[in-house]
Amino acid sequence: MSLTCKMEKIEARSVIKFLHLKGYSARQIHDEMKAVYGDDCPSYDTVVRWKRNFQTGHMSLTDEPRTGRPSLTDSAATVKKVEDLILEDRRVTIHVIMHETGLSYGSVWEIIHDELDISKVSARLLTSVQRQTRHDLSRQMLTLLEQD
């Protein structure tokens, strides 16, 4: 009988570590996890990598810290600053926010869409009367432009 449920990384690593300590091979560990977790278990390559980590004495279940520039999008102060800029002027562009905060385009985009869950409101959301008014005004502007 197969029980299927979502498995967190730390849980998968715990199972791999437990079965490694019991003397199971990487193939046996993967087969056991596949039988219990179905398609939600980690790939065979992941099992092999973590089993190798445990064999070499690295018994921690967490990832090692990585080198490189720290992510600024995790900072609550940075997210708040972007939010304030947007609330101050709802038409502010990503480039203006980049200039004000010193963040990259991708970081600003990630904060806006993933952290703040803000998206662009399009003309499709206008009522039929608003769309018609917009259309009429555009026609008038084109007429004035052609007359000039």
Q: What is the pLDDT of residues 93-145, one digit of tens each?
A: 899 999 999 888 988 998 888 888 887 765 556 777 888 898 999 999 999 99
Mean per-residue pLDDT of the chain: 85
Taking alpha carbons only, the member of 133, 63, 73 closest to residue 103 is: 73
Judge whether 26 and 45 are in contact, CB under 8 Å: no
Q: Residue 70 — very low, low, confident or very high, per pLDDT cuts 50/70/90?
A: low
The domain defined by 9-55 folds into: Arc Repressor Mutant, subunit A (1.10.10)
Residues 61-88: what's their mean pLDDT?
A: 80
Q: Is the pLDDT of residue 2 over 60?
A: no
Q: Residue 59 — very low, low, confident or very high, per pLDDT cuts 50/70/90?
A: confident
Residues of the chain with CATH 1.10.10: 9-55
Give the integer Cα–Cα distance in Å for 142 and 148: 10
Other beta carbons less than 10 A from residue 131's beta carbon: 13
What's the whole-model pTM score? 0.45
